[in-house]
Amino acid sequence: MIVRNLESLEVRHRWYVAHGGGIATMLFDSSELQGILFFAHAILKPGKMLEAHIDPYEEIYYILHGRGRMSVGDDEKQVAAGDVIWIPYGVSHGLENNGSEDCVVLVTAGMPRN
């Protein structure tokens, strides 16, 4: 069993700037996981955004706190705490925090099944 939190040494050393505006850390990555690529925690400050980008895997975003404007392909929706967003493999996506509080997101990724 591996147990981590945001204060764990392994997690504190993994913080990075994500897609131009988010601050993220990998809670787990492919060095520990067997069937999932990563499980990350990201924070978007008010007015910041994860710039639109395309990943070579599918993702799920879970909005833990706050709100924002999510784009997936040509679709845009307002999202808020408790919302889960599926992002298909190879589709452009981005998230803008248009609220007044931090937008905190959990992100996981995996490869599509053949």
pLDDT above 90 for 113: no
28-84 per-position pLDDT tens digit: 999 899 889 999 999 999 999 999 999 999 999 999 999 999 999 999 999 999 999
pLDDT above 70 for 114: no
In a domain, 103, yes or no: yes
In a domain, 74, yes or no: yes
In a domain, 8, yes or no: no
Chain position carrying tokens 């981005």: 94
In a domain, 31, yes or no: yes
Q: Domain range for residue 30?
A: 18-110
pLDDT above 90 for 112: no
pLDDT above 90 for 10: no
11-23 per-position pLDDT tens digit: 998 899 999 989 9
> For residue 68, what is the enclosing H or E element?
strand 67-72
Count of other CB atoms within 10 angstroms of residue 39: 17
In a domain, 13, yes or no: no
Cβ 37 vs Cβ 30: under 8 Å: yes
How many structural domains does the chain have? 1
Percentage of residues of the chain with pLDDT beyond 90: 83
93-105 per-position pLDDT tens digit: 999 999 999 999 9
The CATH number of whichever domain residue 60 belongs to comes to 2.60.120.10
What pLDDT is recorded for position 96? Answer: 98
Cβ 106 vs Cβ 62: under 8 Å: yes
